[in-house]
């Protein structure tokens, strides 16, 4: 069996190695542009048989027009009708051949490792998805402080969620570098731009309150 989407396996390994729960790339099909989010399964998440990871297609300029599918290194695990309708593929007698061509084209866009060179629209899509996964308002984009997480029931210190971690790596990379080793703190965001604080203010206030 041909592993036409083998790049997904390499990308998944690189994401896990670098601590990313989500990555993105752009895709063009039938004169339409998409942002594709690649997402890892969580440890307690139900994982369909044969699925390697999740892929969410978002139409550029209209994120509400989206399609979430599971995928492995061989193909997308999809409902034929759903995929055909989403991408505007007309029905024909040789659908198998058409979907083979679709996978071949998609494979050319899939990176083998996480790239830091994301467009503003890609970053927006990634942060939106991360916020939803963390049950947070996706409009909260302005970091104003960090806080220590409460202790767990076993009295160990709570760690920030991977979504909060990745969101900060995208929105505030320099601040993240300063505090990334503080695993027990979370970065707090507001939807009000006036609440936004500089890296220096956030670090200073954190040090003052925990000195």
What pLDDT is stored for residue 168 in this prediction? Answer: 97
The two tokens of residue 37 are 């989010």
Q: Which two tokens stand for residue 131?
A: 């916020």
Pairing of strands 32-39, 53-59: antiparallel
Residue 6 C-beta-side C-alpha neighbours within 13 Å: 4
Dump pLDDT digits (tens) for 59-105: 999 988 999 999 999 999 988 899 999 999 988 888 889 999 999 99
Residues 151-174 have a mean pLDDT of 90
Distance of CA 5 to the CA centre of its chain: 18
Tokens matching residue 115: 């790239």
Q: DSSP E strands: which ranges in the chain? A: 22-29, 32-39, 53-59, 62-71, 76-77, 142-148, 185-190
Taking each helix axis from N to C end, the angle separating 120-133 and 162-171, rounded to the nearest 10 degrees, works out to 160
pLDDT of 150 reads: 87
For residue 117, what are its two tokens? 């060179």
Q: Is the dihedral of CA 196, 134, 130, 191 positive or negative?
A: negative
Percent of the chain whose pLDDT exceeds 90: 75
CA separation for the pair 20, 205 (Å, rounded): 28
The tokens for 95 are 């659908």
pTM: 0.90
The token pair that represents 79 in the structure block:
């409902």
Reply yes or no on whether the pLDDT at 211 is more than 70: no
Nearest Cα residue to 27 out of 2, 3, 5: 5
From the list 23, 55, 27, 19, the residue with the least C-alpha distance to 126 is 23
Count of CB atoms within 10 A of residue 72's CB?
Answer: 19
DSSP 8-state assignment for residue 75:
-
Q: What is the mean pLDDT of residues 189-193?
A: 96
pLDDT-derived band at 1, boundaries 50, 70, 90: low
């Amino acid at each position: 069996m041909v592993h036409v989407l083998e790049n997904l396996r390499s990308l998944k390994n690189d994401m896990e190695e670098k601590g990313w729960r989500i990555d993105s790339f752009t895709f063009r099909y039938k004169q339409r542009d998409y942002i594709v989010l690649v997402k890892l399964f969580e440890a307690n998440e139900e994982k369909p048989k044969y699925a390697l990871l999740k892929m969410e297609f978002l139409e550029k300029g209209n994120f509400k027009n989206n399609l979430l599918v599971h995928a492995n290194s061989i193909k997308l695990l999809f409902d034929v009708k759903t995929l055909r309708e989403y991408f505007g593929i007309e029905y024909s007698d040789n659908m198998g051949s058409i979907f083979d061509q679709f996978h071949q084209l998609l494979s050319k866009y899939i990176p083998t490792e996480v790239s830091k060179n994301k467009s503003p629209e890609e970053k927006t899509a990634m942060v939106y998805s991360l916020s939803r996964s963390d049950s947070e308002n996706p409009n909260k984009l302005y970091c104003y402080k960090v806080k220590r997480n409460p202790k767990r029931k076993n009295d160990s210190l709570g760690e920030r969620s991977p979504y909060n971690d990745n969101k900060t790596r995208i929105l505030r990379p320099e601040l993240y570098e300063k505090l990334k080793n503080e695993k027990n703190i979370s970065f707090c965001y507001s939807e009000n731009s006036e609440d936004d604080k500089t890296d220096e203010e956030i670090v200073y206030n954190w040090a003052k309150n925990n000195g």
